[in-house]
Homo-oligomer: A and B are copies of this chain.
Amino acid sequence: MPRPSDNDCQMTRQILDRIGDKWSLYIIATLNDGSRRFNELKREIEGISQRMLTLSLRGLERDGLVTRTVFPTIPPRVDYALTPLGATLLEPVMALVRWAEKNKQPIAQARERFDEAANAAPEPGEGVVYRRR
């Protein structure tokens, strides 16, 4: 894998930043079922604020992953849809999601063990000392 200093790596880094952000993946996954209007997305993606939906969609549009189609009617109507490029992103992403789902058990267990050890680690010869306050 390229290093952060590599010029070649900047674009990769930026793409990972986008798909790694809090909402873009959900938008892409939702649009994979077909195009949506702004408020449809807002309703289907629970917890997203209007602001973040707008910003995320702008980012995806800027990267050519999503199209934005305005119908100059009253009231206005705006449809968002995946571009062919955006659609191809879903495959490698889903591979990662499958990995996460497949391994969430051992990860959750590792966390429990780690957190227990951190909270209950006795300092040798000093009695019990609780770390992290």
Could you tell me which A residues sit within 8 Å of B by CB distance? Answer: 1, 3-5, 8, 11-12, 15-17, 19-21, 25-26, 29, 44-47, 61-65, 85, 88-89, 91-101, 103-104, 106-111, 114-115
Contact = CB atoms under 8 A, between A and B. Distances in A.
Contact of A1 (B21, B29, B63): B29
A94 to B, nearest CB: 7
A96 to B, nearest CB: 4
Give the number of copies in the complex: 2
A107 B47 contact: no
B107 A3 contact: no
Given A11-B100, A19-B96, A63-B111, 13 more contacts: A1-B25, A1-B29, A3-B44, A4-B45, A5-B46, A11-B107, A12-B104, A17-B20, A62-B114, A64-B110, A88-B99, A91-B99, A92-B92
